[in-house]
Amino acid sequence: MDVRAIVLVAPRPDGAERLGDMPIALLDVLGRSVLQRVVDRMRGFAISAITVLGDVEATALRVLPQALEDDLRWVRVPGADLWWAAQQVFANYAQSGAEFVVVTRVGPYSEIDYDALLQSHLEGNSRITAVSDAGGQSLDTFVVSAARRDDADFLLQHQLRQSRVPCLPYRFTGYGNRLATAADLRQLAVDSFDGCARIVPAGEQIRPGIWAGAGARIQRGARILAPAFIGARVQIGAAAVITRGSVLEHHVRVNCGTVVEDSTLLPYTSVGAGLDVAHAVVGFRRFTSLPRRTEIEIFDSKLVGYVLPARLRALGCAVSLFARLPSKLTRGWGRNGAAPELSPVPPASSEALSKSGSLPVATGRD
């Protein structure tokens, strides 16, 4: 049986399913993005080909781990063309011999058993099967018989909201999360720690309940209480405390003495020294307080900043070097290239020291 999949990264137009500019589906949960986890799950059910179509801005893509792009057949299309591109991919699949195509939008995260879903589709002898949650709400996942191209076109033209023919309902009762808000993202991490969601942290378990990714640096004196996830290349300063199921995604920096409690720090977030980050999702210069249901933007890097990705850091260093180089050279020529000399100061007598009340300092001579 040849089953293929189209995964659409298309947040809802009402602004939900986004955190700043970034679709929540592209954000990491315990070291791997929601999108990657959806694709991994599909691969586990022997879905032979998966195409990801995304309406993602370039700024959002800059912070994605390279693995995300290497791992997937990723087609970036602007929002207006997304659904049309999905129709083209469907047509290609049908022409190249696929029997069934799973069409899903992330968006929502659900741990669907694709074998059971396909079985239901076959037994129902239907053209389209629509997956809904226990409450009957659509999870934006469909199985379409590849021969029914017109039905698929209609479904995609209407952005998975309307079907030309009645769909066979498939009621999914397993774990699902709408991922509409930052609170949902945090809940997904908590559910993963609790074992409700089958999400395995992407890292080595360094102590019971504490996972760390490659290259994580934890300074002596920092305290981490289980459960916790420390992502790849995270830096945790001395006397910092990470507690109550906190998640630090890749390249996060937590400075000295800061307490992170029941919070998720998104990739490339830098948190200043001596702060208290509690019950929050922090990232991309945004601080979402979960108990207050408030999202604020912070432009002070002493509080919350943004760690530039390595390639941008290198670019910044090169630019500042070239900016400084002419002035350094001019200064050097002004002094005929001679470096300032330091004159050794003779050791002061104890009498002189007691008079001046200070220690002698070596001074440069022009």
Q: Which residues bind other proteins (CB under 8 A)?
A: 272, 274-278, 287, 289, 292, 294, 296-300, 302-303
Q: How far is the CB of 123 from other proteins (least distance, A)?
A: 52
Q: Which is nearer to other proteins, 103 or 271 (CB)?
A: 271
CA 345, CA 49: separation in Å to the nearest integer?
Answer: 76
Contact status, residue 286 vs residue 271, Cβ threshold 8 Å: no
CA–CA distance from 19 to each of 141, 282, 283, 288, 295 (Å)? 22, 10, 9, 9, 10
* Helical spans, DSSP H, in 27-133: 34-44, 58-61, 66-71, 82-95, 114-124
Tokens of 126: 């239907």
Query: Residue 116: CB partners within 8 Å, gap ≥ 6?
Result: none
* Residue at 270: amino acid letter: S
Closer to other proteins by Cβ: residue 138 or 289: 289
* In the complex, least distance from residue 259 CB atom to other proteins, rounded to whole angstroms: 9
CA–CA distances in Å: residue 300 to residues 60, 305, 322, 340: 21, 7, 27, 39
Q: Which is nearer to other proteins, 196 or 298 (CB)?
A: 298
In the bound state with other proteins, the residue whose beta carbon lies nearer, of 196 and 303, is 303
Angle of helix 82-95 relative to helix 149-157, nearest 10 degrees? 170
Q: How far is the CB of 300 from other proteins (least distance, A)?
A: 4
Closer residue to other proteins (CB): 299 or 322: 299
Q: How far is the CB of 294 from other proteins (least distance, A)?
A: 4
Nearer to other proteins, 148 or 285 (CB): 285
Q: CA torsion 222→280→245→302, rounded to 10°?
A: -10
SS3 67: helix
Q: Which two tokens stand for residue 82?
A: 């997304």
In sequence order, the 6+-apart residues with CB closer than 8 A to the CB of 355 are none
To the nearest whole angstrom, how small is the minimum distance from the Cβ of residue 3 to other proteins?
47
State the minimum distance, in angstroms, from the CB of residue 302 to other proteins. Answer: 4
Looking at beta carbons only, is 101 or 304 nearer to other proteins? 304
Identity of the residue, 108 or 272, whose beta carbon is nearer to other proteins in the bound complex: 272
**Residue 129 is encoded by which pair of tokens?**
């099967």
Q: How far is the CB of 178 from other proteins (least distance, A)?
A: 24
